[in-house]
């Protein structure tokens, strides 16, 4: 059963250091802030390809459309190298390729954005890819980061909603990808309309993820399952998921490790998505937890 951690962040770029085994996140909620320029859709793809070229033993970059034979829908237009092209969902997979196959190796997924106007996540997960790879085989590299690369398979999809990210809009055309997953919907044939949902579905079919982190925006919190309307009690509070205790522990550790905000003196709020944010049907997190 996948443990999904959903991180909501405002429009400030956090510094993220993640222990992929214990899901610990460290945000720059205090101290100096490093300047960072947001990458465009095309710039993200180009940079992922640069990382693959620089670290061929540890990085594989692919288009979900090419790898899983999904259509490149002409109505989903993106911009790359000043040209209009069909939107593609690019992924970088990070692991020690020389030691594969390894059926016991834990697999993890990081999603930068299912809502295209939520801009922090894609920058963070690209920075994470660079951080992991830059330490993978350095003699003076961080031994903790080297261990993660050599003992985990890390799948990063910076812009699951490629169209939305390219156009800086929440939806993919007229559809919200985070209502497009086959979980607690009126009809199972009213899902997987978006390429964002289909791309994530193919990654799920190809991997057995144990842990996932997804980014949203609009508020600041660290949340977990449940997040579906079918898991809200009459009291308005959320039911507890079967792995509620472990998810609560992960989220609380991330919140405390991140430190307190300078302005409020408070930690990141943590709890279920139902209690801290709001409940939805067709959401990625509850679907992924049960996929």
pLDDT in tens, the chain (291 residues): 676 678 877 655 443 333 333 333 333 333 445 567 899 999 999 999 999 999 999 999 999 999 999 999 999 999 999 999 999 999 999 999 999 899 999 999 999 999 999 999 999 999 999 999 999 988 898 999 999 999 999 999 999 999 999 999 999 999 999 999 988 887 767 789 999 999 999 999 999 999 999 999 988 999 999 988 998 998 999 999 999 999 999 999 999 998 999 889 999 999 999 999 998 998 899 898 875
Q: Which CATH superfamily is domain 3-290 in?
A: Zn peptidases (3.40.630.10)
- Asked if residue 226 has a cis previous peptide bond (ω within 30° of 0), the answer is yes
Q: Which residues pair with 213 in a beta bridge?
A: 5, 110
Token code pair at residue 95: 């692991």
Residues 6+ positions from 114 with CB-CB distance below 8 Å: 160, 161, 177, 178, 196, 200, 214, 216, 284
Domain boundaries defined on the chain = 3-290
């Amino acid at each position: 059963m996948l443990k999904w951690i959903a991180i909501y962040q405002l429009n400030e770029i956090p510094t993220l250091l993640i222990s992929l085994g214990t899901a610990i996140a460290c945000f720059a909620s205090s101290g100096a802030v490093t300047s960072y320029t947001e990458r465009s859709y095309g710039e993200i793809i180009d940079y992922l390809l640069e990382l693959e070229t620089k670290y061929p033993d540890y990085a594989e970059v692919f288009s979900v459309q090419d790898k899983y034979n999904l259509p490149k829908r002409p109505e989903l237009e993106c911009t790359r190298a000043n040209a209009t092209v069909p939107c593609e969902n690019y992924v970088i997979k990070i692991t020690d390729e020389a030691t594969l196959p390894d059926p016991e190796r834990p697999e993890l997924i990081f999603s930068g954005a299912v809502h295209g106007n939520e801009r922090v996540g894609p920058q963070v997960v690209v920075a994470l890819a660079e951080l992991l790879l830059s330490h993978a085989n350095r003699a003076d590299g961080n031994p903790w980061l080297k261990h993660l690369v050599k003992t985990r398979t890390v799948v990063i999809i910076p812009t699951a909603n490629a169209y939305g990210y390219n156009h800086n809009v929440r939806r993919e055309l007229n559809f919200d990808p985070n209502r497009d997953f086959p979980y607690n919907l009126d009809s199972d044939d009213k899902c997987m309309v978006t390429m964002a949902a289909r791309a994530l579905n193919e990654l799920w079919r190809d991997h057995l993820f144990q842990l996932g982190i997804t980014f949203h925006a609009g508020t600041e919190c660290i949340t977990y399952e449940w997040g579906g309307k079918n898991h809200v009690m009459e009291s308005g509070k959320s039911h507890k998921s079967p792995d509620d205790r472990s998810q609560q522990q992960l989220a609380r550790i991330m919140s405390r490790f991140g430190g307190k905000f300078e302005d409020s003196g408070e930690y990141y709020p943590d709890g279920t998505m139902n209690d801290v944010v709001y409940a939805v049907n067709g959401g990625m997190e509850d679907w992924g937890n049960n996929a």
